[in-house]
Structures are given as structure tokens and as C-alpha cells.
Structure 1
Amino acid sequence: MDTQNTNNQITPPEAPEKTPFYQTTWFILLTTFCLCLPVGLFLMWKYKKFHVGVRIALTAFFSLYSIVWIVAAVLLAVQAPTSKASSSAYSKYNMETTEEIPLESEKETTAESFEYKTEETTRAALEETTTAAAMSEPTTSAGDIYDVSANDMINDYSTDSDKADLLYKGKTLRITATVYNLENDRSDIAVINFSRTDKFSAYFVRCEFTDPAEIAKVKNLQKDDTVTVVGVSDGYFVDPILIDCKIQ
């Protein structure tokens, strides 16, 4: 019911005063726990929120928490440069040690590698010497004519034609062998082919005759006849070749 003043006038009741937000409990708790701890504690004591015992407990807890956090941060800041310097010094030491003092395992590996390379070089030299010795000069007879066999000549050229050229090309050779086949259907050239007799081979020694008298002799031969041919080695083209051949 409305009240009346002394002049019998009706006076409306006053509206309750509105509490500022910074004095409210929810704002003080939010500030203390989330936004700004010192401000929250200040507001809590200023506006006497909670029982005094609760305020003392909260203040002590947050003060201790803040001190621990600050001390931990200081220790981390002090230890970080020291740890970095130690790591750099350790890395430098490792680098210097690795460069100047090789490990025992590395020494052994290097020594084994050197011995292996030495053995390989020696073995290669021996093989080269053995190959050169095996491919020796054909037997020399009178008049610088070299006696060779069709088997050896075919084998040498099929193994290494470049080395065989060094051994035979340009030299006068004499071969005694069995005729494998004849090519005597032309008047300007005739050919006798000798094959290997010790084992099958796709290669032949090709003996070419261009002298008319020698061509006539070739035409009198037959397959499987044994004949001695003297000619100049012209190297290798598909088969080893002798040119300017004559029958003895």
C-alpha cells in the first residue's frame, strides 16, 4: 500500500538500487579464476564477498600458486641459455672428435678396403699377363711366315678381336686344315673356308684367292680335302680373313 506524507500526499516507493556488475559475485569469480587474479582478489576483499575465512583461504592459495609459477618461469629462463650453450659445446666436441680421431671400426674398414683393392689390382695384372702369354706369337718359320691353326685363330678372334688383330693382322700366315666349304663359282675370286675341328663354332677362317692360277687350283679341290694355304691376315670382318692366298 502506498504511504502518505504529512501533507496527506501519496509518495511512490523508491526503486531498489541496481548493483554494479563489478560488484557482483559472478564477475569477481570470473576475474579471479580467468581474467586477472589480482583484480579479482581486490574486488573480493573490497566488497566483502564470501566469509572472511574463505577469502583468506582463496588469497593464500592463489598467492602460493603465483609464487610457484613465477619461480618455475625464472628457473626455466635461467636454464635455457645454459642448456643451449652446453648442447653447442657438445656438438662441437663431437664434430672435432669425429674429424680428428676416426673410430676403430672405420680404421679396420679402410684397411680392409685397401687390402681388397690391392688384391684386385694384383689379380687383374696377373690375368692380363696370363692372357698375353696365352695369346703368344704364332710359330715362326722361314721367310717370316707364321704357322697357325684354324682352331687357334677362330678362338682368338671370337674371344677378343682387337687383341687378335694385334697378333695376326698384316702378317703372312700358313694354315693346314680340312676344307669346310668352297666358293669358286666366280672367275675373279675363289674362297676356301676352314672351320674349327675341336668343337662347333659359327665362325670360319676365310681364305680369299685372286690370282687366276690359284683360283684354278681351288676349283680342283673338294669338301673335306686337307690343304695348306699361305695368305696375309686382313683382320676380322664377320670371320677372320686371309687375302692374296696361295696353295702350297
Structure 2
Amino acid sequence: MKTKNIFYGIGILLIVVLNILYFYNPIFKSDSKSIENKLTDYNLKASDLVSSFTNNEKKANLLYTGKIIEITGTIKEITYLNDRNTIILNSNSETFGVICDINPNQKEKIHQLKQHQKIKVKGICKGFLKDVIFLNCAIDLPINE
């Protein structure tokens, strides 16, 4: 009976220690969300990207989904709903745009942006659902035009 209790105690202690190491130790923390310094696969204008998806969604999905893309476009809207910072870029179409979910480490940069400002955003393309969706986006230097 005592050995059984010791065995369970060691098991629980081991689980607690592993959880502490996993959640609090920076060695286990991934920097996969930070794409600022990663190379881009494509550099496109927001309108060209949306046109690709609206003209041939299947081909565009094969080309762009899962890739790191730098998009240049004009800000249509900036939202801060549910602790998510999102920028919507205009395209040539009234109906479609590019939704960029901004990485939380970009808070200082996003608060400097204004509607109708031309910017570059780098993110991972996730596909097309009425708009082209980008996740983990980093804001590159704003273009002053």
C-alpha cells in the first residue's frame, strides 16, 4: 500500500514539474508566430491577391495557402474586437478584401495606423472566405504616399 502511494505521488509530482517546465520555460516556447524576420514567398498588392482568388480560387489556394506573403494595400478598417487586432485592406472590389489578424506583439505599430493609409503587412495566407484571410501578421514600415 505504501509503495503504491509513493508511486502515485512521484507520478503526480513528475506531471506537475513537466507542466511547469512546458508553460514557463522559454526553451519550449515557439517563435513560429513571429514571422517578422522570416523570408516571404510572395510580395503582392492586396487587389492582385484578391483578383487571383476571385478569378481561380483553386489555383490561388495551391499557390498562396500556407505561404508567408507580404501584401501592400490601403487600410479600409482597423478593429480591436475580442482582444484581436485586425486590419482589413481594400481591394479593387467593394465586396472582397484582405483580413489581416495582427500578431499581439505589433500593438504599438497598429495604434499608429490610420484608415486609408497605405501599408505593407506580412502574414501567413490561410485561404479565401469572402475575403482573403491572413494570420500572425506583422506590420512592416508604413508607406507614406
Coarse TM-score class (shorter-chain normalised):
0.5 to 0.7
Given that 1:184 and 1:218 are in contact with CA atoms closer than 8 Å, whether structure 2 keeps it comes out as no
Q: Name 2:127's counterpart in structure 1.
A: 235
Q: Tell me which of 102, 107, 123 is aligned to 1:215.
A: 107
CA drift at 1:186? 4.0
Q: What are the within-5 Å matches in structure 2 for residues 1-248 of structure 1?
A: 143-187=39-83, 189-196=84-91, 199-211=92-104, 213-248=105-140
Q: Is the helix fraction higher in 1 or 2?
A: 1
2:136 counterpart SS class: strand
Given that 2:103 and 2:138 are in contact with CA atoms closer than 8 Å, whether structure 1 keeps it comes out as no
Point out where structure 2 has 5 or more consecutive residues left out of the alignment.
1-37, 141-145
* Percent identical: 24
Cα distance 1:247–1:239, how it changes in 2: closer, same or farther (>3 A)? same
State TM-score, norm by structure 1. 0.39
Letter in structure 1 aligned against 2:90: S
Cα distance 1:220–1:152, how it changes in 2: closer, same or farther (>3 A)? same
Given that 1:234 and 1:243 are in contact with CA atoms closer than 8 Å, whether structure 2 keeps it comes out as yes
Q: Is the strand fraction higher in 1 or 2?
A: 2
- 1-side partners of 2:126 and 2:46: how far apart? 15
State TM-score, norm by structure 2. 0.64
Q: Give 1 or 2 for the bigger CA radius of gyration.
A: 1
CA drift at 1:233? 0.5
CA drift at 1:170? 0.7
User: Deviating runs (4+, > 4 A) in structure 1?
Assistant: none
Given that 2:86 and 2:99 are in contact with CA atoms closer than 8 Å, whether structure 1 keeps it comes out as yes
